[in-house]
Each structure stands twice: as structure tokens, then as C-alpha cells.
Chain A
Amino acid sequence: MIDRLRAPIFFALVAGALLWTGLNQSWNTALVIFNMGLISAVMSLGVNLQWGIAGLLNVGIMGFVALGGLAAVLIAMPPVKEAWNAGGGAILLGLAIGAASIAIAATAYRRMHKGLLRGLALVVILVGGFYLTRIIATPAIKAVEAINPASTGYLGGLGWPVLIAWPVGGLMAAGAAWVIGKTALGLRSDYLAIATLGISEIIIAVLKNEDWLSRGVKNVIGIPRPLPYEVDLQKDAGFIEQAASLGLDPVTASTLYVKLGYGILFAVVLLILLWLAQNALNSPWGRMMRAIRDNEVAARAMGKNVTARHLQIFVLGSAICGIAGAMMTTLDAQLTPSSYQPLRYTFLIWVMVIVGGSGNNLGAVLGGFLVWFLWVQVEPFGQFLMGVITSPLSDGSFLKEHLQAGAAHMRLLTMGLFLLLMLRFNPKGLIPEK
């Protein structure tokens, strides 16, 4: 009985927390948290699919999220014509050669017999391909990066509407996941974890260092939006009128309008994904996946193609993370590779899944909202807590100053405390698997 009520109660709680934020802080804040909460929920849905349902320990979420972000740049930014002229073709050719050499190596690996010859052939093909790629692409890359480096210096994107980047982000993440899955899915638990963690670091390294692709650490800013700009709204007479009729000043109205717009877009994506995930989970497919998670050996013996299923779910879960990544970059309107940190984009998502209840889609979604809410709100809370602790101390005392200087670090501490308390009283998550 209580168990049935858990989900509604907790979701009501989160809604309440957002309402509280809206009333006490501001609706804009509440909406910002809500929007990132939606994105977080999508990510944790993807991770839950992989871990909660298939038992795959993917600690490379960050990489897939970043790929989604890259998709937003590649789709939505306007192309940089001079850069294309300077070396776009050569770069693509170089990449194609690189890809081809890997493909050839893979076929050689399969066709040739085990032995020294094969090893040698592989090395020759791969190293040769690598150098050929470099020879062709390096000058082109230099040329591209030299074009107005402070504001472009990259190839730019396709200039399409950014919404297209969402599915494309999913596809790119899926593609990467497919390659990774093909090679690394044979690994067990923690070993797979560190492999994925490493691969995600590699993806970030590429984003940071390949300036021609997405400006590297110089960031791409001003990615076009799917929604109107606040400043434009504020100039739109019709909008101002409508806002006034609601009793809002144009600034508040425009900011709320845009955030609400994002919220609706994200919510639609989340609901669709949730519907798909729920149906999949509560079906023979979900049963098969749980069987595989419980006991791979037996599942194999019962005719289930464990390898293929693992690959399938790894690709799907990663694709969802990619979609979320594209959504996030759309919301931020910029891609900042150095902001991708495992703590934030991998471990925090894991915390969401586990706190919410792994194996349960609703739990994952709840965890996404709740943990994100805490992550944002914990900071003022930490300062508040510090204030309380130091209030009995006399002003200007060394201890007080020291403690207050440390208040900023209370965020992590408080977050840790919340996490531990939450897990202490709900070791299986807030909405556990049935």
C-alpha cells in the first residue's frame, strides 16, 4: 500500500519543492531548476536502462552527453565558408582515410589467421592510416584554425534548426556507443566501468583539442535557439500587451515565456522516452533483460543472445544520454568542453539513478529531479547552515572568519550529507524496483 503510494508522494514532494522555490525565490529560478531537472531525468533514464535494467556499469555518461552537445553545434551553427574553402574537404578526406584504415584493419583481423603476420599487418595498416590521415589533414586543420581564431577558426555547422540536433545527438551517441560496445562490452562490471570512463575522457579530449571541429576550449557560443529571444519579445508590442494583461512586466514575462517554452519541449521528450521505456520494461523484452542481468550464463543457455542484447541496450541508453546532451547544449546555447567533468556529468547522474531507485524508470526520473534540485539549492542551504553554526561566535573571531570562508565548500559537504541520509533511509532508492 505504502509502496504504491511512494511514487505519487515523492513526485508531489518534488513539485512542492519547485513551488516553494517559485514562491520564495522566484519563478524563473524554479523554471531553470525544472528545466535542468527534465534534462537530468532524461539522462538518468538512459543510465537506468543500462544499469538498472541490464546491469551494465556505464561510467562514461559524460562522453555521450558531450557528443550530443557537439551535435547541437554541428547542426545549428552557421557554416564558416572561408574555413570550408581553406581546408574543409581535406579534413573530411583525412577523416575518411582514418576511418577506412580502421575498417580495413578490422576486416584483416577477421579474415587473417592468428599469428605474427596478422599482428604485423594490423600495425602496418593502422600506423600507415594514422600517418596518412595526419599528412592530409594536418595542414588543412592548420589553415582552418587560422581563420579568425578569436571568433571562428572552425568549420562551423550546417545552419539547420537546432531541434534537429536532438535526434542527431542521439544518433551520434548511439554510433559511438556501438563502436565502444563492440569492443568493450565483453568486460565485466568494474572493468567495463573504467573502460567507459576512459573513453568518455577521450571524447572530451577530442572536443577540447580539435579546434577545427568545435573550437576546442575556446568554446562555441551563441548557438541559435528554437525559441524567440527575450530581448526580441520585450520589443514585441503584442507580447508586451499580453504580458500586461496577465499582470506581468515585459522582462519577467519574456524570461518566463522562454523558460516555459524549453520546459514544454523537454517535457515532451521526457514523456515520450518514459513511455517507451516503461512499455519496454514491462514486457517480455524487459523480462529477458532482467534475466540477463541476473545470470548471464543461464540466459545464454536459454537461447538469449546476451552479447547482442547488451549492445542494443548500451546503444539505446547512450543515445538517450546523447539526446539529453543536445537538449542541454541547446538550453545553454553554448558548448564549453572544459565544463564536462565526470563529477558533474557522470557521478551526479549515477547518484540520481541510485537515489531514485535503480531498475525503476519512475525512480530514475524522480532521482533526476530531486538530486538536481538539491545540487542547486544546497549551496544557499550550506551558507545558511554556516550562518547558524557561526552565529554564537563573536564577530571577527578567527574561527568565525575561517568557518565562513569555508562556507563555499559546504556545498559538496551538504550534498554528501543529503546523499548519505537519503541512502540510509532508502537503501534501495526512493522508488525501488518492484
Chain B
Amino acid sequence: MIKVENLHKHFGGFHAVDGASLEIAEGSITGLIGPNGAGKTTLFNVIAGVHAPTSGRVTLKGEDITGLPPHELFHKGVLRTFQIAHEFSSMTCRENLMMVPAGQSGETLWNTWFGRKKIAEEEEALRAKADEVLEFLTISHLADHKAGQVSGGQKKLLELGRTMMVDAKIVFLDEVGAGVNRTLLNTIGDAIIRLNKERGYTFVVIEHDMDFIGRLCDPVICMAEGKVLAEGTLEEIKANEHVIEAYLGTGLKNKQKGAA
């Protein structure tokens, strides 16, 4: 569905993404792992139009989308979440969600003056939808809280919640799990699977929690130093020596600190 060809992104002399090529199959949940600084987020940012690539090409279903601005990608159904939460801090959580859908008639000035009835109807529906999402994320009680004043994990939930407000084609999730309670993360995992199965969303998931990756993702791509290091099922990846060395490690050396 998305095809990335020989993508480069350089910051000054530093090659954050250094010739990555990969393909995301339609309807898959692809895991993207790799050590810190491997270039995962940068890759997302390039695909999502935040950074212009130094070179390379990104296509969506054969259509060249390299360098398209984020809002146009959004309209093509490409959504993403941020690793470091980007909430709209002075707006309530509900408003954070309600602002998402595109094409709201109330976003045209003319309608705000002369199409108030239609807006009221739309708002009703949006509100119901937002409340549903909040409910799902277990934060209904925060609906009227300012988003700037909720906990770190709750902000991450809002990030995810926004992608659930619209019918996306492909969603890039950048560490939705970091800082989210594991039980809730499982629920989120369920939701991702459901969205994938029932609505046919394609997902690309960056995550450092191998359990989570394992439960959701096939295939898994491992990046390192801006390149694709390995690709396959999680089992294959876990067995890959390079991946172990660069990323997974061999577990705690001092498993029990009682030893002291």
C-alpha cells in the first residue's frame, strides 16, 4: 500500500534515514522496531510530510506522495500519532477529538454565520462520536478537562483517540504504548486489531514492547542506523543475531537485586 524507495533524510551531515526501502502491505499491521535513534520517527515524519526527504520516493497505492504537506496526506487517509504527545493543550479533551474530522461545514466562515442549523446537527453527531471514543479509551471523565492538564499517559491516549475519529486508510502509530498502562495497552491492541479486521485500516506500529508487537504485528521490520536491518515475522526477527545485538539484548544481567 505504501512503498518507500531508497529514502534518505540528512540533518546536516548526519544521516538519520540512510537509504531505507520498505513496503507496507494493505491490511497488515506492520511493526517497526529498532534501537533508539534508528530513524523510525524520522521515517514517519518524512512519510507524513513533516520533513522533506533529502532523496527517495514514497508512494501510496502507486501514487507519488513524496513531500506532500501533512494536511493533504490526512485527506488521503494517511494519519499519524506523535511519539511526544501533541495535544491541543488549551482545549478540552472532547474538543481535541471533535476538531479532527475533515470537511465540517462549520469550518467555513460563511456557514458559521448563515448555516448555523446545519452546524448544530453536525456537532451533535461529532460529540456523540467523540464521547464514544473517550469511553473506549477509559477517559470519559476527562471529556471537559483541558488537555494540557491530563496525565502523560492520558495525553497518549488522546493521540490515539484522534485517529479513531475518522475513517483512515493507514495509520502510523509512534509508540502509543510508551507510558500507557499495560492493561489499557492490551485494550488498545484489541482495538487496533478490530479496526484492522472490521474497517480494513492498515497500521504501522513503532513500539519497544515486544509483547505488544508480538500480539499485533506481522510482519515486523527492524531498522538500525537509518537502514532496514531485518524484516520478517517477530519470531524470525527475534532470532536474528544482528537484531539481538543492536536492539533486543540478552536480558537483565542482575535479574535479582537481592543478590547484594
Q: Which residues of A contact B (CB under 8 A)?
A: 276, 279-280, 283-288, 290-291, 293-295, 297-306, 312, 433
Contact = CB atoms under 8 A, between A and B. Distances in A.
Contacts of A291: 88, 91, 95-96, 99
Given A288-B99, A297-B50, A303 B74 contact: yes
B69 A300 contact: yes
A279 B71 contact: no
Interface residues of B, number: 36
B162 interface: yes
B67 interface: no
A37 to B, nearest CB: 25
B61 interface: no
Contacts of B123: 284
Contacts of B79: 301
Contact of A288 (B50, B86, B107, B122): B107
A298 B82 contact: yes
A287 B98 contact: yes
Across the A-B interface, give the 10 residue pairs with the lowest CB-CB distance, nearest first.
A303-B74, A284-B106, A298-B86, A283-B112, A294-B88, A300-B70, A291-B88, A303-B102, A284-B104, A280-B112
B80 interface: yes
B76 to A, nearest CB: 10
Interface of B: 48, 50, 69-71, 74-75, 79-80, 82, 86-91, 95-96, 98-100, 102, 104-109, 111-113, 116, 119, 122-123, 162
Contacts of B122: 284
A302 B82 CA distance: 11
B162 A302 contact: yes
B67 to A, nearest CB: 14
A303 B108 CA distance: 14
A323 to B, nearest CB: 16
A285 B91 contact: no
B71 A304 contact: yes
Contacts of B108: 285
Contacts of A290: 88, 90-91, 95
B71 A303 contact: yes
Contacts of B106: 283-285
B100 A302 contact: yes
A294 B89 contact: yes
Contacts of B71: 300-306
Contacts of A299: 88, 99
Given A279-B116, A284-B112, A303-B102, 13 more contacts: A279-B112, A283-B106, A283-B111, A284-B105, A285-B108, A287-B91, A290-B90, A291-B96, A295-B88, A299-B88, A300-B69, A305-B71, A312-B109
